[in-house]
A and B are shown apart, each in its own frame.
Chain A
Amino acid sequence: MLSCRGVAERANAMIDGDLGGWEAATMRLHLLLCRGCARFLRQMRATQDMTEAVASEAVTQPEAADARFDALLSELRNGKPSAG
C-alpha cells in the first residue's frame, strides 16, 4: 500500500505522465481515498501550471528589434561563410 509520503514523492512523475500503468492506478486509488493527498496533488498541478507559464512566457520575444539584435545582424552580414 502506497503511503501518503510515497504519493507526494511520485506527484511530479504522475503530473508528467511518467508513471507506469500499475503505479498510476495505485496512485489514483489512493487519491480517491485520501483527502490530504488529493489536495496535495491539486497544489502540485497548480504549481506546475504556473511554473510552466512562467518558463514558456520567456520563450517568445515579441519583437527582435533592439540594439543587441542590430549588432548581431551586422555580425550575420560580415561573418557569413558562404559570401557571394
Chain B
Amino acid sequence: MATSTPNDIELAGRLAAGDRAAFEELYRRHNRAMVRLATAIVRSRDTAEDVAQDTWVAVLRNIGGFQGRSSLAAWIFTILSNAARSRAARDGRMVSFDSGGDDADDGLASAFDGRGRWRDLPALWDEVTPERVVAGRSLLDHVNRAIESLPPSQQAVLLLRGQKDLEPADVCATLGISDGAMRVLLHRARLAVRRKLDAVLAECRL
C-alpha cells in the first residue's frame, strides 16, 4: 500500500491547523470522484452529495488522528466508502464490494468454441475516439453511461483505479477486498463496458 508522502503529512498538518488553502486543494482534488463513488453505492446523487459532505466533516474532525499509515487519499476514500455503505444499509440495501465479480458470467464464455477459439471474429474498431459521436452521443458519454449501469462493486473499482493518488493496494484497502477480488471486478467491469461499446458500434455499422 502506498504510505503517506511528506506532502500528505504536511497537508494533514495544515488541515489540522484550519488552513483554508489546504482544504481547498484536497476538496478540488477529490470531491468529484467522492460524489461519484458515493452515487454508485447509494444510488442517488443528492444522497451522495450528503455523504461526501459528511465525509469532509469527518475528515476535518479526525485529521489530527491521521498517522500517515496510508496515503491521505486512501484515508479519505475509506471514510467515504464506509459512510456510503452505512447510508445504503440505513436505506435497507447492503452493498458488498466482494460480490459482483464471482457470480456473474463475464460474458466471454459464449464467444469461444470448445477449443477456446473465437466463434466470430471480434469486430475491427475503427476510428474509436472519445469524441466520435455515435447514436447521438460521444463514445465517451456511452462509456460513462455503461459505467453507471455496472454493479456498485465494479463501478467502485473502476473509479478508484482511475485515481492518480491511489495505488492498487489502496483500492483494495479502501473497499476492504483482496487483490484477487479487485482484479476480477476490474476485468468484469472492463469487459462489460467493451460489450456495450461493441453493441453501439455494431449498430452504426448496419
Interface residues of chain A, those whose CB is within 8 Å of chain B, are 3-6, 8-9, 12-13, 18, 35-37, 39-40, 42-44, 46-56, 58-64, 68-69, 71-73, 75-77, 79-83
Contacts and interface: CB of A to CB of B under 8 A. Distances in A.
A69 B130 CA distance: 31
Nearest to A77: B18
Contacts of A72: 23, 27, 53, 56-57, 60
A61 B29 CA distance: 6
Interface residues of B, number: 57
Nearest to A15: B190
A3 B111 contact: no
22 contacts: A4-B118, A5-B111, A36-B121, A43-B123, A46-B125, A47-B197, A51-B162, A54-B144, A54-B162, A58-B32, A58-B36, A59-B33, A59-B162, A59-B163, A61-B31, A64-B24, A64-B31, A72-B60, A75-B56, A80-B18, A80-B60, A81-B64
A58 B140 contact: no
B17 A59 contact: no
Contacts of B61: 79
Given A4-B116, A59-B164, A40 B190 contact: no
Interface of B: 15-18, 20, 23-24, 27-33, 36, 49, 52-53, 56-57, 60-61, 64, 108, 111-112, 115-118, 121-125, 128, 130, 139-140, 143-144, 147, 158-159, 161-164, 183, 186-187, 189-190, 193-194, 197-198
Contact of A73 (B20, B118, B139): B20
Please list the 3 inter-chain residue pairs (A to B) with the smallest Cβ-Cβ separation, ordered nearest first.
A55-B162, A3-B116, A80-B18
A44 B23 CA distance: 38
A39 B27 contact: no
A39 B32 contact: no
